[in-house]
Amino acid sequence: MFMRIEFPQFMKVIKLLSNFKLIVGPIVIMIFLELAFPYFLHKIPLYLHAAIDSGLLGLAQTSKRSLIPDDYILILGDSNAAGLGEWFNESLKDRRNLWPDFHTAHILHNKLNVDVISFGGAGAGNLMNLVFSPITQFKYINSFGPYNLKKPKRILVIFDEGNDVSDNLKELKKLFLKKFDLGRIYDNKYFRLFLDDVFQNNNPYEVSTSSLKRLIFSRFLYKGIKDLFSENKYQENWQKILKSQKIHKLKLNEVNTSYKQERLLKTSRHTILNVALVGSEKWVFSNKNFRPPIELTEDDIKLGIYVFEQSLLYASEFFKGSKIDIVYLPSVTSSYNLLTIKESGLGLSLRKSNYSYLSKIKESEIFLVQEVKKIAEKYGFGFIDVRQDVRSASKSQIIHGMVDQNHFNEVGYHVFSDSIINQSDYLKQFIQ
């Protein structure tokens, strides 16, 4: 005998099943996406990268043949290593190209057919961009079950002449002086204790152990929606920052001092404009943060370089077996044939040589190059000096961004990358 079911009861069952599907269906879809998403990070369009877990961005990069790079080159350093600049900004805006090229990693990958990823980080010194960030990113990636990232075959460490030393001093002031004795800073063993301590207590990424952290897709979705509401505000703030950093042609009216010039470009006694001769034209650069650290004492510079040395050794120990090349990146002012316009009692005058300023830039640059090269020779690291190729290119064209002048434009990144290849016997063997 069959149980008799009245029509109203039947409709209740149907409604219950429908409600069940409405609840279960999305859950099943989310589970599927959570399981599948980790394997497709490298297929996420560039304009959505900001929503990806920052510790996994290395796998989302498209300068490699598959999700997990093999026998790869790792680039370490600041924002130049990360590929920031106007080439990146323009690529980000172009939604027609979902996976655009925009920096050194892509150029090396395309020309050499080798996997290249970057753990570069903006706005940080060597403590962060050589020690804490790359090591913790590497560990973080490997803490996820789907991933097995081996150590790189080669590491390119970019030393930025323009701000690495000053950023190192800032990080020391922030982290070292809290609990460590400045008088013992040149004790290598003591400094190693400092590195271990800061590494343990200031990791940018925690090794993923919680279930919540492993919900990569859910966090991607949440952050993506959240970023939609803050994107406009971010763009507004970014434009304000860049407004005072433009490269522009020298104008006749700039022979006269203006309040704006004084406010932006004032030194202790004079108003100085950085003017570069490019071809037959004169171009004006900001003088802030785009030159060697001429405002620092020799002792300060030596301390900043010491931090670079110890940070590099710490990284080399962790990435044992990976060959390391130090790439010396000249500052913006060191990359061009620089002139100055200097304020005097009779107004502004163009000077091809001004010892008090231009010579300081040159002397600081030479000192930094020598010290960084000594470190490379002392520990058996390779040393790549791109200054000659960069300056040769800048004689006829602007190689930095017209707005974001602190970073290369597309031409500049190609010059920089080609110079690295041409000076590396290891890389030249891969040329197709």
The confidence band for 383, taking pLDDT boundaries of 50, 70 and 90, is: very high
DSSP 358: I
pLDDT digits (tens, 9 = 90+) for 96-139: 899 999 999 999 999 999 999 999 988 889 999 999 889 999 99
Residues 289-317, mean pLDDT to the nearest whole number:
92
Q: Is residue 264's pLDDT more than 80?
A: no
- pTM score of the predicted model: 0.85
Question: What is the C-alpha to C-alpha distance for residues 326 and 303, in angstroms, rounded to an integer?
Answer: 18
Residues 35-47, mean pLDDT to the nearest whole number:
90
CATH architecture of 44-231+286-428: 3-Layer(aba) Sandwich (3.40)
pLDDT digits (tens, 9 = 90+) for 322-354: 999 999 999 998 999 988 765 443 344 444 445
Q: Is residue 256's pLDDT more than 60?
A: no
Q: What percent of the chain is predicted at pLDDT more than 70?
A: 75
Q: Is residue 196's pLDDT more than 60?
A: yes
Question: What is the C-alpha to C-alpha distance for residues 78 and 170, in angstroms, rounded to an integer?
Answer: 14
Q: Is residue 296's pLDDT more than 60?
A: yes
Query: Where exactly are the structural domains of the chain?
Result: 44-231+286-428
pLDDT for 54 equals 87
Residues 66-81, mean pLDDT to the nearest whole number:
96
268 compared with 198, residue with greater pLDDT: 198
15 compared with 54, residue with greater pLDDT: 54
pLDDT for 210 equals 59
pLDDT for 376 equals 98
pLDDT for 31 equals 78
pLDDT digits (tens, 9 = 90+) for 352-380: 445 577 888 899 999 999 999 999 999 99
Question: What is the C-alpha to C-alpha distance for residues 123 and 47, in angstroms, rounded to an integer?
Answer: 21
pLDDT for 358 equals 83
pLDDT digits (tens, 9 = 90+) for 387-430: 999 999 999 999 999 888 889 999 999 999 999 999 999 999 98
pLDDT for 108 equals 97
Q: Is residue 217's pLDDT more than 90?
A: no
pLDDT for 29 equals 75
**Mapping DSSP to helix (H, G, I), strand (E, B) and coil, where does residue 249 land?**
strand
Backbone φ, ψ for residue 290 (5° rounding): -120, 25
Burial 279-307 (b: 16+ CB within 10 A, else e): eeebbbbbbeebbbbbebeeeebebbbbb
Q: Is residue 273's pLDDT more than 60?
A: yes
279 compared with 123, residue with greater pLDDT: 279
Mean pLDDT of the chain: 82
User: 195: closest CA among 108, 263, 128?
Assistant: 128
pLDDT digits (tens, 9 = 90+) for 156-187: 999 999 999 999 999 999 888 878 998 999 99
The confidence band for 321, taking pLDDT boundaries of 50, 70 and 90, is: very high
Alpha-carbon Rg for the chain, nearest whole angstrom, is 26
55 φ/ψ sector (left φ>0, alpha ψ -120 to 50, else beta) = alpha
Lowest mean pLDDT among 47-51, 259-263, 367-371, 389-393: 259-263
Contact, 123 vs 307, CB < 8 A? no
Question: What is the C-alpha to C-alpha distance for residues 49 and 42, in angstroms, rounded to an integer?
Answer: 10
Contact, 385 vs 330, CB < 8 A? no
